[in-house]
Every structure is written in C-alpha cells, then in structure tokens.
C-alpha cells in the first residue's frame, strides 16, 4: 500500500513538473531563453571540466544550437523555411567553443567567454527570428537584426581564423578549413539582405568572394606573423568585401561608403605589416 502511494506521489510530481515545463516553453521567447541557458551551461561544463577532450562536445553543441533554434521557431518555418538561418548559429557556437581552447584556463576567463557566448547567441537567435518573419512581412527591426548578425559574423570569423592558423597545419589543410567556414558565412551574410528562400540564389556571388579570400589566404600562410594578426587581417578583408556587397544590395554604394571600407582594409594591413617580425 505504501509503495503504491509512493509511486502515485512520484507520478503526480513528474506530471506536474512536465506541465510546468511545457507551460514555460509555450512562448517563442521563453524557448529561446531556455535554449541559450542550456547551450551556455553545456559549453561551460565541456570546456571547464573536460578540458581539451571537450572539443568533441563542442561539435555536438554546435549541432544542438541549430536543433534548438528549429524547436523554438518551428511554427514560423512551416510555410517559410529558409536553411540559411541555421548557418551562423552553428558556426558561432563552433567558433566560441574552439576558441575556448586558446585562452588561459582560468575561471574568470571561462565565465567571461561563456557570458559573451550567451549574450551573442541570444541576440543571434532573436535576429534569425526577425529574418524569418521579415520574409513574410515588413518589420522595423530588420536593420538592427542585420547589424547584430554581421557583427557576430565578424566575431565568429576572427575566432575561426585564429583557431585554424594556430593549428599550424600544412597549407592545403589550412586552405580547406578556411574555405569550409568562409563560403557558408558569406552566403549567410548576403542572404540577410535578400531573404531569398532558395539557397542557390547568391551561391555564385558567395563563391566568387570566397575564392578571393581563399587566394589571399595562400599568401597569409607564408606570412611570418602571429595567428592573431593574420586572423585580424583576414577578418578585415572579410568585413570589406562582404560589407561592400551588402551596401550594394541596399543600393547605398556611394563614393564615401567605398572609401570607408578601403580605409578599414588599409588599417588592418598596416597593423599586419608593422607588427610582423621580419627578422
């Protein structure tokens, strides 16, 4: 009799917890917040407690970043599916997770990067949701979402480039890895201005820009500088060519705008050149 009552009590508590959890996750924003908390906790545990072996968990978390995004916005994706929304969340989680391995193993540093990851991921999730809705109707926040997404793209590109050049692989593997994350990131950066459902719409343009960075990466592999400076320069080039493409899509490609991007390219090249050890 006592065992039966105990089972019934446990069953009531379990069903009550399940109802509370479902009620909490009924709203889209609540699901996004829950996803960010879950992924941030997983990243911190993987890197702080598992050390370098946590690299395998990083790839799993990157996949779950997309799965949880789909879980959160699946209602809006039923009649308006755009595969491009899953590119940057995956690469952002991968970039932060891999960059974790390059920073000092201190608690304060880990907490700081985890907080940065959580803030960036939540902003990215909200921006991707805006892009989905904007493809159906006009939203005033679209411009802000584009700015946030491009900023996160630059941060992710810097982290991934830094990791790749820090591995000191041979030139072929390095170029292959650069291509693997440059092409989809450029494709996503162009899509946020066209919001075309077809992934093939900007593929030719994205491939052309990727080849430009690919060719430059060949020279950078032989450049006698640190991985951080090389990644900074490559991110500046990414900012320039993708930024110019975006303002062209917005029909704002004026002379003053062009010179602003050229100035950024000149600055990052000057930093790379003067801080390179030529001896």
The 3-state secondary structure of 172-219, one letter per residue: HHHHHHHHHHHHHHHHHHHHHHHCCCCCCCCHHHHHHHHHHHHHHHHH
Instruction: Look at residue 6 and tell me if it is in a domain.
Output: no
Residue 39 domain-assigned?
yes
Task: State pTM to two decimals.
Answer: 0.86
d(CA 128, CA 131): 5
Q: How many domains does the chain have?
A: 1
Q: Which residues contact 247 (CB under 8 A, 6 or more apart)?
A: 253, 257
The predicted structure's pLDDT at residue 187 = 93
Residues of the chain with pLDDT under 50: 2, 6, 8, 12-14, 17-18, 20-21, 23-24
pLDDT for the residue 78: 77
Which residue in 125, 121, 123, 103 sits closest to 112, CA to CA?
103
Q: What is the pLDDT of residues 138-184, one digit of tens each?
A: 677 888 999 999 999 999 999 999 999 998 899 999 999 999 999 99
Is residue 28 in some structural domain? yes
pLDDT confidence of residue 211: 93
Residue 231 makes CB contacts below 8 A (sequence gap 6+) with: 158, 159, 161, 162, 165
Q: What angle do CA 77, 83, 86 make, to 5 degrees?
A: 95
Q: Looking at the domain assignment, is residue 129 inside a domain?
A: yes
pLDDT at res. 18: 46
Distance CA 31, CA 68 (A): 8
Q: Which helix (H) or strand (E) holds 278?
A: none
> Is residue 46 assigned to a domain?
yes
Asked if the structure places residue 162 within a domain, the reply is yes
What pLDDT is stored for residue 23 in this prediction?
46
pLDDT recorded at residue 138: 67
- Which residue range is the domain that position 168 belongs to? 21-274
Confirm whether 5 is domain-assigned.
no
Separation CA 222–CA 237 (nearest Å)? 17
4 in a structural domain:
no
């Amino acid at each position: 009799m006592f065992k039966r009552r105990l089972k019934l009590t446990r069953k009531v508590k379990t069903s009550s917890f399940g109802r509370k959890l479902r009620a909490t996750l009924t709203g889209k924003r609540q699901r996004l917040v829950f996803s960010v908390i879950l992924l941030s906790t997983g990243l911190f545990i993987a890197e702080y407690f598992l050390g370098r072996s946590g690299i395998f968990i990083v790839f799993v978390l990157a996949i779950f970043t997309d799965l949880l995004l789909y879980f959160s916005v699946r209602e809006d994706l039923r009649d308006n599916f755009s595969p491009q929304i899953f590119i940057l969340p995956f690469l952002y989680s991968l970039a932060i997770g891999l960059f974790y391995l390059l920073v000092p193993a201190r608690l304060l540093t880990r907490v700081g990067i985890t907080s940065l990851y959580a803030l960036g991921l939540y902003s990215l999730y909200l921006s991707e949701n805006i892009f989905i809705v904007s493809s159906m109707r006009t939203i005033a926040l679209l411009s802000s979402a584009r700015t946030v997404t491009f900023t996160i793209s630059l941060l992710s590109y810097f982290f991934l480039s830094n990791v790749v050049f820090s591995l000191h692989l041979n030139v072929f593997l390095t170029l292959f890895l650069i291509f693997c994350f440059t092409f989809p990131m450029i494709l996503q950066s162009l899509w946020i201005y066209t919001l075309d459902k077809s992934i093939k719409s900007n593929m030719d343009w994205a491939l052309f820009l990727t080849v430009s960075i690919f060719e430059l990466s060949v020279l950078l592999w032989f450049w006698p500088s640190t991985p951080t400076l090389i990644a900074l320069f490559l991110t500046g080039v990414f900012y320039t060519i993708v930024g110019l493409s975006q303002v062209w899509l917005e029909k704002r490609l004026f002379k003053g705008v062009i010179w602003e991007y050229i100035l950024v390219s000149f600055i990052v090249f000057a930093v790379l050149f003067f801080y390179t050890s030529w001896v």
